[in-house]
Amino acid sequence: MAQEQVVLVDPQGRILGSQEKMQAHRDGALHLAFSVLLYRERAGGREFLMQQRARGKYHSGGLWTNTCCSHPRQEEPLEQAGIRRLAEEMGITGVTRLDDIARFIYRAELDNQLIEHELDHVLVACVSGLEIVPNPDEVMAHCWWPEEKLAQAVVETPERFTAWFPQVLAYVQEAC
């Protein structure tokens, strides 16, 4: 089985090559990523589908984050990669379109002496009636989190969330 690769990019998003995923995270190499955040509209307001990362993940285990996130494969369109990871992480197969609303670069030193340095694309979709069957190797819990309470939790208890999630939420709130 081939080792998983990430796509290395410059700050403008130009592809520079690829590198084995864990090595890129040890080196802190800038690479392409995406964060999917699904939401639904309710009478009480908007709710976001959040996941709590499985404790066994290679970093940020046990932290809350957006619906799913990952890295596109070489020459894989971002939207297709997001739809693939929705199925792999959350068991969600009913989403056929994601909108790429923003991108940002962040760098965070994480547990296990790893560094996330990503050009992260924010992919969103408004959904209803989803069947959610999370992969226990990826996700330990999930919930629909009301927007106001989520925004408050990010400010009051940022240690409960992944390093990238506050920026993802800010872009989604601004654009949607």
The answer to the question of whether 76 is labelled as a binding residue is: no
Residue 164 to residue 147: CA distance in whole angstroms = 17
Residue 146 to residue 4: CA distance in whole angstroms = 35
Q: How many domains does the chain have?
A: 1
Domain that holds residue 17: 5-175
Residue numbers annotated as active site: 69, 118
What CATH number does residue 19 fall under? 3.90.79.10
pLDDT, tens only, 105-143:
999 998 788 999 999 999 999 999 899 999 999 999 999
pLDDT, tens only, 59-96:
898 999 999 999 999 999 999 999 999 999 999 999 99
Residue 140 to residue 57: CA distance in whole angstroms = 10
The answer to the question of whether 31 is labelled as a binding residue is: yes
What pLDDT is stored for residue 113 in this prediction?
87
What pLDDT is stored for residue 2 in this prediction?
63
The answer to the question of whether 59 is labelled as a binding residue is: no
